Amino acid sequence: QVQLVESGGGSVQAGGSLRLSCAASGYTYSSGCMGWFRQAPGKGREGVAVIYTGGGSLYYADSVKGRFTISQDNAKKTAYLQMNSLKPEDTAMYYCAAAAFCGYGGYWSRLSWYNYWGQGTQVTVSQ
């Protein structure tokens, strides 16, 4: 049984930083994609960043480029999202998700690629 468990959310002031973790179990971590998504109240779920776990390619949403960094520790089967220079508009529930395949280039954020989802961790950024 595949499980994804997020941790690291919390409340910070604008300009602050948080690091999210996503620990995977029961999943062939060395291939496929690990993505981070977020959903703000009243809005749809959007892709934030993805890492192709086999080759290490990275993609980011335009809104977080230069501020967020996705990384992984294959030995620990864990993906990370380092979030710096946080803004109030980053406030959302953050989810990690795993896919055996998530397309190429800009198509990585299509939700239907992702078979497995974590329970989410809340990030709140105040002014």
pLDDT at 109: 94
Spell out, as residue ranges, where the chain has pLDDT lower than 70.
Answer: 29
Q: What pLDDT score does 104 carry? A: 78
Distance CA 48, CA 96 (A): 10
pLDDT the model gives residue 55: 81
**Confidence at residue 27, expressed as pLDDT on a 0 to 100 scale:** 78
